[in-house]
Amino acid sequence: MTRLLIRKLTPDGLLEFSRLLGDIRAGTITKLDYKVHIEPIALGPRWTQTLPGKSLFIDLDHQFATRFELAGHLHPILTQLNVVDLLMERGLWEWLSLAWLEQLAQNKSGKLMVGANERYLVVEKWKRYRHLVLGPYAIYHQYRNNPADALCVLYTKPAQPGEIVGQLGAKLSIVQSRAVVSAATKLYMSGSTPRRGAGGSGSGSPRRLNAVIEQLDRTFDLQSMDPSEFLELLPEEFDSWKTKAGIPTTKR
């Protein structure tokens, strides 16, 4: 276990981190070496600064199997930080993604790969959900009383958020509605794994749910519904998913 004091990147540190991402993307760096590429920025006095209050640490060697595990590991630590607005703290989320970059810059076969900048840097407001650390943390925090309700957008590997997260995590009307997120978890998840076909785009898929919610949200106040009320609104194409989940289908 390698403990690392939590810091945040300075504006210069953010630029240095984006240079590192650019070098990986350009193929100048083909193998990440923590001591050579990450540590000089993550601990450098010019690139980082410490946070006020209690000294808090992360475990650099912790390998997270899922976004849920990553967010669950960080939540009790970060809520102790003495910062005004944790989710808006500039440089913190980027520092965390830099510290764990070796596991966050991987493709499905485990090879070094960085995607778009917003996976590591908090860029435009509407892209914050794509950040590989802030994205799952913010959802976990919103559902902190029962985070398992949001498993449908937290079950994947941290470096590969996947189709369901892309479809459901991107839309405010979905992530801001406890009924919708909880219902989607019931429909598409069996315990901590997705049901077969949940990553597809066919009838009743998350992609279709996204499209249906787009319509329902204009007519119904989804935020005041409970999951069962929302499930009743879904059209027939979702019946097979309801059956798989053991939810009674609606008589029409």
Partner 1 sequence: MSSETRTFNFTNRIRIAREHISIQVDDAKAGGSPVFRTRLALDGYEFAASDLVYLEAYRNTEWQRYELGTIGALKVTASIAMTEFASVEGVRFRLKVVSAEKTTSGDKLIRGQAENIRPELSGATESLLPLIPDQSLVTELWRLQLDDHTGPTVHVSVSLVPDRYAFARSSEFLTLAMPVIVRRILEWAVSEPDFDWAGQWHVHPRALWLRSSMELLGQEEIPGFLGEPSDQQDDERDAWVDDAVAAFCRQVELEKLSRIWLKCD
CB of 196 to partner 1, least distance (A): 28
Stretch that binds partner 1, among 8-16, 56-64, 202-210, 235-243 (CB under 8 A): 8-16
Tokens of 201: 């785009």
CB of 34 to partner 1, least distance (A): 22
Q: What is the Cα–Cα distance from 248 to 76, expressed in whole angstroms?
A: 37
CB of 161 to partner 1, least distance (A): 14
Q: Which residue in the set 32, 60, 81, 87 belongs to the binding site for partner 1 (CB under 8 A)?
A: 87
User: Would you give the distance in Å from CA 149 to the centre of its chain?
Assistant: 14
Which residue, 66 or 142, has its beta carbon nearer to partner 1?
142
Q: Is 121 in the site for partner 1 (CB under 8 A)?
A: yes
Q: Which residue in the set 225, 231, 234, 247 belongs to the binding site for partner 1 (CB under 8 A)?
A: 225
Q: Which residues, 6+ apart, have CB-to-CB distance to 225 below 8 Å? A: 177, 179
Query: What's the chain's Rg over C-alpha atoms?
Result: 20
Stretch that binds partner 1, among 97-105, 117-125, 155-163, 206-214 (CB under 8 A): 117-125
Tokens of 176: 């801001």
Q: What is the Cα–Cα distance from 131 to 134, expressed in whole angstroms?
A: 5
Q: What is the Cα–Cα distance from 104 to 139, expressed in whole angstroms?
A: 18
Which residue, 123 or 245, has its beta carbon nearer to partner 1?
123
Residue type, 188: Y
Helix (H) or strand (E) holding 49: strand 48-50
Q: Is 117 in the site for partner 1 (CB under 8 A)?
A: yes
Q: Is 138 in the site for partner 1 (CB under 8 A)?
A: yes
CB of 83 to partner 1, least distance (A): 8
Q: Is 90 in the site for partner 1 (CB under 8 A)?
A: yes
Contact map string, positions 175 to 214, toward partner 1, x by CB under 8 A: xx--------------------------------------
Stretch that binds partner 1, among 35-43, 84-92, 106-114, 196-204 (CB under 8 A): 84-92
- Other CB atoms within 10 A of residue 94 CB: 22
Q: Are 153 and 139 in contact (CB under 8 A)?
A: yes
- Other CB atoms within 10 A of residue 43 CB: 13
List Cα–Cα distances, 30 to 105, 125, 158, in angstroms.
11, 31, 21
* β-bridge pairing 48-50 and 57-59: unpaired
Stretch that binds partner 1, among 159-167, 191-199, 215-223, 239-247 (CB under 8 A): 215-223
Q: Is 33 in the site for partner 1 (CB under 8 A)?
A: no
Which residue, 122 or 213, has its beta carbon nearer to partner 1?
122
